[in-house]
């Protein structure tokens, strides 16, 4: 565009227009609004956050931190239970907990490996548990009476070894499901096994998976176990967990109504009304005689303090009701005036 109306329209900017736009941008950045940029600078700037479209995350950092703490407890309980089951120390440590795509998770599985497919009722979806064959063979050797020395063979598991290792995998899945027991009762089951993650089709390739890697130390064997659960599988329990935390964090300040109990009917409480009129010296008091008149302020009648069991509680107005003196309560004293006094009602100075 050009400033001259007689100049033919073009899709390109000339050097003068480029210089003008750059000058407006510099003024806006320096805090000197100019034209349209100045009007936009006066508004609240939008919040810009980085987004990795190749690795989308459906959980915020705070939510991942809560899940990490939850899984830390799961790892601690699992380590103790497997150590008792195998009668040998089974060390576990979290290496990673993040959200990645299903295709990236399956492409990262080693080969050869042992993959167990599991389902958690009543949730939908199929989870993946990957255990290194050397670790699986070492556990199988221990279950058969061995000393738990690391097996160096790189091969697939036999049917007997798979049957033995599935008992350990079921213990792992039971402990993983138990961490959600406060939200929902889950029942895990193993539905199949594979030895290559390249051909798995348990979820869409672009679906998001909560992936966790565990570093396992069993005897002289140090390998990894990986667990991948589709996000749509755990989404219901995650939402329940978030709703429960928000409910617990919300401070509900409901006024508790006072209830009368019949046992209160026979309790006697001394009631006294008084004025803070003036002060007299001992000489003036000793000179008082019957018939003397003491002058008092007229406003004292509306500033009568009512004491319950020696503690000032109310302020009222004194007057006559038939042939009796009565005090009409006008306001309640605040707690600082209620508890900061002497038994006779006077304030502590």
Least confident of 79-83, 97-101, 186-190, 253-257: 253-257
In whole angstroms, give the CA distance from residue 29 to residue 262: 74
Residue 310 gets the label, from left (phi > 0), alpha (psi -120 to 50) or beta, of left
pLDDT one-digit tens code per residue, 241-278 = 888 877 776 655 555 667 788 888 888 888 888 887 77
Q: What is the pLDDT of residue 126?
A: 94
Q: What is the pLDDT of residue 37?
A: 44
Is the per-residue pLDDT at 38 higher than 50?
no
Average pLDDT rounded to a whole number, residues 36-59: 54
Kindly give the pairing relationship between strand 311-321 and strand 324-332.
Answer: antiparallel
Residue 168 gets which letter from DSSP? H
pLDDT one-digit tens code per residue, 110-142 = 888 899 999 999 999 999 999 999 999 999 999
In whole angstroms, give the CA distance from residue 236 to residue 325: 69
Q: Is the pLDDT higher at 225 or at 338?
A: 225
Cα angle value 96/100/106 (rounded, 5°): 90
Kindly give the pairing relationship between strand 221-230 and strand 127-131.
Answer: antiparallel
Strands (E) across the chain are located at 90-101, 114-121, 127-131, 187-194, 208-218, 221-230, 271-274, 304-308, 311-321, 324-332
Is the per-residue pLDDT at 48 higher than 50?
yes
Instruction: Find, among 97, 40, 44, 93, the residue nearest to 68 by Cα.
Output: 97
Would you call 24 exposed, middle or buried from its count of C-beta atoms within 10 A (0-12, 13-18, 19+)?
middle
Strands (E) across 219-310 are located at 221-230, 271-274, 304-308
Least confident of 155-159, 182-186, 275-279: 275-279
In whole angstroms, give the CA distance from residue 315 to residue 307: 9
The proportion of the chain whose per-residue pLDDT surpasses 70, expressed as a percent, equals: 79
Q: What is the pLDDT of residue 293?
A: 81
Q: What is the pLDDT of residue 219?
A: 86
Sign for the CA dihedral angle at 319, 322, 323, 328 comes to negative
In whole angstroms, give the CA distance from residue 172 to residue 190: 11
Least confident of 29-33, 82-86, 149-153: 29-33
Neighbours of 335 (CB within 10 A): 8
Q: What is the pLDDT of residue 162?
A: 92
Domain 61-247 bears CATH identifier 3.40.1550.10: yes
Query: Which are the contacts of 330, defined by CB distance < 8 A and separation ≥ 6?
Result: 302, 314, 315, 316, 317
CB 224 within 8 A of CB 132: yes
pLDDT one-digit tens code per residue, 69-89 = 889 999 999 999 999 999 999
In whole angstroms, give the CA distance from residue 93 to residue 198: 27
Full-model pTM = 0.56
Domain ranges, ordered by start, for the chain: 61-247, 270-275+296-349
Calculate the CA 31 to chain-centre distance.
39
Neighbours of 275 (CB within 10 A): 13
Task: Quickly list DSSP for 128-152.
Answer: EEEE-HHHHHHHHHHHTT---PPP-
Average pLDDT rounded to a whole number, residues 103-109: 90
Least confident of 44-48, 214-218, 299-303, 323-327: 44-48
Q: What is the pLDDT of residue 46?
A: 67
Return mean pLDDT, the chain.
Answer: 80
Q: Which two tokens stand for residue 338?
A: 């209620």
Is the per-residue pLDDT at 54 higher than 90?
no
């Amino acid at each position: 565009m050009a400033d001259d109306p007689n100049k033919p329209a073009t899709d390109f900017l000339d050097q003068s227009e480029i210089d003008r736009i750059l000058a407006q941008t510099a003024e806006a950045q320096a805090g000197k609004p100019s034209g349209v940029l100045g009007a936009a600078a006066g508004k609240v700037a939008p919040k810009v956050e980085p987004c990795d479209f190749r690795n989308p995350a459906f959980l915020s950092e705070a939510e991942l931190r809560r899940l990490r703490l939850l899984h830390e407890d799961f790892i601690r309980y699992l380590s103790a239970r497997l150590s008792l089951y195998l009668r040998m120390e089974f060390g576990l440590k979290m290496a990673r907990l993040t959200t990645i795509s299903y295709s990236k998770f399956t492409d990262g599985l080693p080969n050869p490996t042992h993959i167990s497919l599991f389902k958690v009722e009543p949730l939908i979806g199929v989870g993946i548990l990957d255990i290194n064959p050397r670790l699986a063979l070492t556990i199988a050797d221990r279950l058969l009476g061995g000393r738990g020395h690391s097996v160096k063979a790189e091969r697939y598991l036999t049917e007997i070894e798979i049957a033995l290792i599935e008992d350990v995998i079921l213990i792992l899945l039971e402990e993983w499901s138990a961490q959600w027991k406060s939200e929902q009762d889950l029942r895990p089951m193993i539905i199949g096994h594979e030895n290559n993650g390249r051909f798995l089709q348990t979820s869409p390739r672009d679906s998001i998976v909560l992936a966790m890697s565990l570093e396992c130390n069993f005897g002289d064997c140090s390998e990894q176990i990986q667990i991948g659960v589709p996000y749509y599988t755990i989404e219901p329990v995650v939402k329940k967990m978030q709703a429960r935390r928000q409910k617990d964090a919300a401070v509900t300040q409901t006024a508790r109504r006072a209830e009368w109990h019949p046992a209160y009917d026979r309790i006697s409480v001394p009631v006294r009304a008084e004025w803070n009129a003036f002060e007299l010296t001992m000489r003036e008091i000793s000179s008082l005689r019957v018939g003397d008149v003491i002058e008092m302020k007229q406003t004292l009648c509306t500033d009568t303090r009512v004491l319950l069991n020696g503690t000032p509680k109310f302020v009222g107005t004194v007057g006559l009701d038939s042939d009796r003196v009565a005090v009409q309560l006008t306001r309640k004293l605040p707690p600082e005036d209620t508890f900061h006094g002497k038994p006779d009602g006077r304030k502590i100075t």
